[in-house]
Chains A and B, each alone.
Chain A
Amino acid sequence: MALAWELDKQKVPLWVNALISEFEVIAPVRMHGEEVFTLVSDGSQVALDYVNTLASPKEFFLPQFETMFSFTTGRGDFDIEVPPGEEKSGVIFGIRPCDVNALLILDKVFSGDQKDNYYLGRRDRNALVALGCNQPSARCFCGSVGGGPSLLEGFDVLLTELGASYLVETASARGRQLIDKAPDLFRKASGASKREKRRLVERAKRLATKPIDPLEIAGKMEALFDNSKWVELGKRCLQCGGCTYLCPTCWCFDVVDRVENGNGERLRCWDCCLLCGFTRMAGNLNPRESTEARIKQRFYHKWDYFVQRFGTLQCVGCGRCTETALCHIDWKKVFDWVTSEK
């Protein structure tokens, strides 16, 4: 059972300041009329009254462009230097349930047989202070895919907005330590507050789209494999990459070497399955030559193949793909089309 406190809203900056003294704190900050996750230097910068950011905090675990190691060549051998990890531990403050659930999906991928120490190192070093979702937006379909709005696991601390205060629950020793940085700010949660939280969670669930079994979704996808809808969608794709780059559950990356005068860097950068080069092989042969084949791959990977492999969808229903894509493909509508399949 999680431990619970209450924190008055106006004390949030004080708590964040206490955290900043020991951690790198990443939180949503309002700039230029929108909220973005960024490093904060003062608690007053943190803006928790937001729906969700356009970019998820994925980049703090899997950066878009990352030096894996540097090397020098010559005399037939290599000297390799792996960059040191960050010195300070971090706190991702105010992350939404869908984005926590997205990290749990990435965990499955990066902690399989091949451990990705870059990603896992950052997961270890960063605590998650999640912010419960009381009001899913019109774009979200988290309820149907298990991405939210409730959050049951994966967080160190969970905040739930209760009017003038937050209910603060911890789920780990690390979470408890974050409270202990400024214990005087918190008071023990009352029974009424806990009941209010349960009421808000139930209400959010009712507002969200209704849950559907992942296996049922995967089954419907299989029935639709030869549907002409995919051709229609493929025709629209402008290959902007936005749907994959902004997707909190897309992890594909490319690995490139940059070598100049015997000094080299091995880098990895986000990749995108909508691009022709993603699957192009020697001799220009390509199993997914058409945009139709590629966009279909993305839908099937998310809503079918991943289910077969891991038992969950590779989608948290955040709707960022719909918001950012140049092609104006509405993933929620496609999802509704799939799930309405008899």
Chain B
Amino acid sequence: MRIEKVLTTCVYCGTGCGLYLCVDHGRVVGIAPSRSHPVSQGRLCLKGWNAHQFVHHPQRLKNPLIKRDGVFAEATWDESLDLVAKRLSEIKERHGSDSLAVLSSAKCTNEENFVMMKFARAVLVTNNVDHCARLCHASTVAGLVRAFGSGAMTNSITDIRDANVILLIGSNTTEQHPVIAAEILRAVDNGSKLVIIDPRMIQLSKFAEMQLRLTPGTDVALINGLMSVIIEEKLQNSAFIQERVEGFDELRANLRRYTPEYVEQVTGVLANDLRAAARLYAKADRATVLYCMGITQHSTGTDNVLDCANLAMLCGHVGREGTGVNPLRGQQNVQGACDMGALPDFYTGYQRVADETSRPKFEQAWNTKLPVKAGLTVVEMMNEAAEGKIKGMYIMGENPMLSDPDLNHVKKALERLDFLVVQDIFLSETAELADVVLPACSFAEKDGTFTNTERRVQRVRRAIGPVGTSRSDWEIVCDVASRMGYKMSYDSTETIMEEIAALTPIYGGIHYDRLDDFGLQWPCPSRDHPGTKYLHKGAFTRGKGHFHPVEYVPPAEVTDAQYPFILTTGRMYYQFHTRTMTGRSEALNREAPVGYVEINPTDAEKLNIRPGVRVKVSSRRGQIIANAVVTETVPPKTIFIPFHYREAAANLLTNPVLDPAAKIPEYKVCAASLERSD
């Protein structure tokens, strides 16, 4: 073996672990953790350890595909790029720019997201650009920007060690962010108290001081209840509130009706447990809130996030090490894709499209007139496609045919398009519906940067040459742009980052020569700035923090006689998102090869469902068949289905109702029925 090692950043979750790709004769044959990496520190999870397995999988797309008479045939790059440019130009000409839409990708690099959003705005001339952050943390961005002025994790991952109390809400951390779970475990070993708010029992439950098992969708009531206890018992940090936050009187007035007894009725959490949790959090010297999609994926997602921010500000647990409000981002570059403005209402660095100073800056830099009207979000794009208003889509590295809610609707929408181009490393469920499929390089084959959940911009390094004739996503998009008459050309990803830095204050000091080892955390406004370990020190990004009183509103769909179960969806350890990669990694896929539904033993007994039998789960939108897992993990009358599996796609069932502010769908709650299928 003549193995050479190339340091890069893991391609799975938002933790952003450092790992070496082990390369032998141009093939990636293994992974080694990086001991010096500030986040992962010599550790990896099973996905990270096996991040090489899909790279050379024989199903990798090696050449462009063009569909003729319903059948894909391999084509040359020239032919394919010409066709894409021609069809997109025709649609733009005939139906207008806003009949086109683009999905950028949290799986692609910052540079690729930047190029894609520039393509949408400068070449297609539409703000219809979004990506799957819409489906995971759109409510985080919407909520935290309003409360604090910045929509990102306030603190750093290793800060968890410094927290005396960790409030973990809606995060199955050992499965979705295992290296962050290791930090929680270390903190608990060293005496920190862990309080979990989650309807499901998780591995960390065994290490928790207490767990509040709320009814899914009652988060606002619960957090309001915690704050009501804190104010009742005068445990708030009055000095912090007076100096740094506005709107306390309105908050207090709103909390009056959230007595522990009322909250117990709504959430199912015992009043005394609520009181105990409130005391623990409020009295801690340093307490941190870590949350994930249990908070965000609701029709009240933005309210849930705002309430987390309210709670932290009420106790002064923000702006110091070991504190903060910390969303754990899901994909390895979902933070970066947002930072890069792959969003319908923002340019890079959260500069608003609507802002009359931002737009001229980008117009001048790109030497073109940019669209003013805010664009469509992911689910809105599908709705408009289904209605025939969106005619053409360019989807890069995303798989809405498995990840979006109400898949039957998504399929209708994509099938109605006049033209669909999909760029990916495998023929995903979405790519199967495309007119043209363009083969992209995997993370092992390209240069760039990813930004992790703690805002750390890190290098991705090319370790091997492209598989087949695949190309980096940014190169492909630039070629399409140029063929559409807008010259886009960069000699390297470093040149793209120079343009990003010049246009983006929070990335102003991000230059490749500064990222050699383990990156920089934004905001990093200038070349001499060391980066920012935690936000809101001394003052919030927006100046004063703002309390937003929010009221409990039940989920959009509640159970009834026909659909008596609450269906909640989520992820599991061995698979990632729509399994395009983990499903082709034998070490991972062996552990969980098929979809399943978790059912509480009392419900299973009533329905005569034994472990392993096939069950039918139905909602108002569809039905699936999956294997029964009978487990105390879920409470009675609640079932859980991981959304990864094509053959038992949870998103055939989910409700596409949206949070009004963030437009995130309510993946965490819908009504379902359950029966044996034999």
Contacts and interface: CB of A to CB of B under 8 A. Distances in A.
B414 interface: no
A116 to B, nearest CB: 15
B586 interface: yes
B179 A26 contact: no
A275 B29 CA distance: 21
A205 B29 CA distance: 37
Given A39-B2, A323-B42, A64 B31 contact: yes
Interface stretch (A9-17, A95-103, A210-218, A240-248): A240-248
Given A34-B34, A34-B35, A327-B185, A240 B5 contact: no
B587 A326 contact: no
Interface string A63-92: 111100000000000000000001010100
B45 A326 contact: yes
Q: Which of B35, B174, B179, B189 has the most CB of A within 10 A?
A: B35
A60, A238, A254, most chain B CB atoms within 10 A: A238
A328 B185 contact: yes
A287 interface: no
Interface stretch (B46-54, B269-277, B375-383): B46-54
B49 A326 contact: no
Q: Do most interface residues of chain B lie in helix, strand or loop, or is the interface mixed?
A: mixed
A256 B586 contact: yes
Contacts of B49: 240-242, 245
Interface string B19-47: 01010100011111111100000111110
A308 B626 CA distance: 45
Contacts of A64: 22, 29-31, 52
A254 B28 CA distance: 18
B3 A327 contact: no
Nearest to B45: A240
Contacts of B43: 240, 242, 324-326
A63 B3 contact: yes
Contacts of B52: 64-65
A59 B3 contact: yes
- What is the size category of the interface that chain A forms with chain B? 35 or more
Contacts of A63: 1, 3, 22, 24, 29-30
Given A238-B203, A271-B587, A38 B3 contact: yes
A301 interface: no
Contact of B53 (A65, A265, A276, A277): A65
Contacts of B58: 258-261, 263, 265
Contacts of B53: 65, 269
Contacts of B22: 59, 63-64
B518 interface: yes
B7 A328 contact: no
B1 A260 contact: no
B387 to A, nearest CB: 39
Nearest to B518: A32
A89 to B, nearest CB: 11
A238 B58 CA distance: 31
Nearest to A31: B7
Given A90-B2, A275-B591, A32 B36 contact: yes
A254 B18 CA distance: 26
A86 B1 CA distance: 7
B181 interface: yes
Contacts of A245: 49
B510 to A, nearest CB: 18
> Secondary structure of the A side of the interface?
mixed
Interface residues of B, number: 50
Interface string B488-530: 0000000000000000000000000000111000000000000
A187 interface: no
A260 B58 CA distance: 6
A32 B34 contact: yes
A55 interface: yes
A340 interface: no
A115 interface: no
Given A31-B7, A39-B2, A271-B587, A239 B32 contact: no
Question: Which one of B1, B31, B52 has the greatest number of beta carbons of chain A within 10 Å?
Answer: B1
B44 A242 contact: yes
Contacts of A277: 590-591
A36 B32 contact: yes
B515 to A, nearest CB: 11
Interface in A27-46: 31-34, 36-39
Contacts of A61: 1
A249 to B, nearest CB: 17
B59 interface: yes
Interface string B47-69: 00110110001110000000000
B147 to A, nearest CB: 32
B465 interface: no
B185 A326 contact: yes
A122 interface: yes
B55 to A, nearest CB: 9
Contacts of A39: 2-4
A196 interface: no
Contacts of B5: 31, 36, 38
A326 B179 contact: yes
Given A64-B22, A240-B43, A32 B3 contact: no
A59 B59 contact: no
A326 B177 CA distance: 11
A236 interface: yes
B178 interface: yes
B613 to A, nearest CB: 12
A54 interface: yes
Given A65-B52, A325-B43, A34 B3 contact: no
B94 interface: no
Interface in B560-575: 573
Contacts of A254: 586-587, 590
A219 B605 CA distance: 45
B163 to A, nearest CB: 17
Contacts of A8: none
Interface string B80-104: 0000000000000000000000000
A67 B193 CA distance: 48
Interface string B161-192: 00000000000001000110110011001000
Given A63-B3, A260-B58, A326-B181, 9 more contacts: A26-B2, A33-B36, A34-B34, A39-B4, A64-B22, A64-B30, A86-B2, A242-B49, A324-B42
23 contacts: A36-B5, A54-B34, A54-B35, A63-B22, A63-B29, A63-B30, A64-B30, A66-B29, A238-B174, A238-B182, A239-B46, A241-B49, A242-B33, A254-B587, A256-B586, A261-B58, A269-B586, A272-B46, A323-B42, A324-B33, A324-B44, A326-B179, A328-B182
Q: Which 5 A-B pairs have the closest CB atoms?
A: A64-B30, A260-B58, A33-B36, A326-B182, A55-B32
Interface of A: 24, 26, 31-34, 36-39, 54-55, 59-61, 63-66, 86, 88, 90, 122, 235-236, 238-242, 245-246, 254, 256, 258-261, 263, 265, 267, 269-272, 275-277, 284, 323-328
